[in-house]
Chains A and B, each alone.
Chain A
Amino acid sequence: MENILAQAKKVAEEAEVFLVSAEETTVQFEANRLKHIQTKQSTHLALRIVKEGRLGYATTTEPGDTHSLVDNAAETAQFGMRAKFELPSPTTYPHIDIFDPAVESSSIGKMSQLGEELIALITEHTPDIICEAMVAKEIISLRIINSRGGQASYRKGIFSLGIMGSLIRGTDMLFVGEIQSSGHPLTQPREVARVVLKQLELAKNQASVPTKQLPVIFTPRGVASALIPSLMIAFNGKTVLEGASPIGNRLGQPVFDPKLWLWDDPTVAYRPHSRPCDDEGIPSQRTTLIEQGKVANFLYDLQTAALAGTNSTGNGSRGGGLPTPSPTTLIIAPGKTTFDEMVSDIKEGLVIEQLMGAEQGNILGGDFSGNVLLGYKVESGKIVGRVKNTMVSGNVYQVLKEVTAIGSQAEWVGGVVNTPPLYCPRLPVASK
Chain B
Amino acid sequence: MAARMTSTSTAGIYSPATALVLLLPLIALFCGAFLYPVGRLLAMAVFDPDFTVRHLAKAVESPLYVNVFLRTARIAAAVTLAAFALGYPVALLMSRLSGRAALFVTACVLVPLWTSVLVRSYAWIVLLQTNGLVNGLLRWLGLTEGPLKLLYTEATVLVAMTHVLLPYMILPIYGALRAIPADYERAARNLGAGAVTSFITVTLPLSLPGIFAGCLIVFILSLGFYITPALVGGPETLMAATLISQQATELLDWPFASALSLLLLAGTLVVVVVFRRFLSLSKGL
- Is this pair of chains taken from one and the same complex? no
A-side interface residues toward B, CB under 8 Å?
none
B-side interface residues toward A, CB under 8 Å?
none
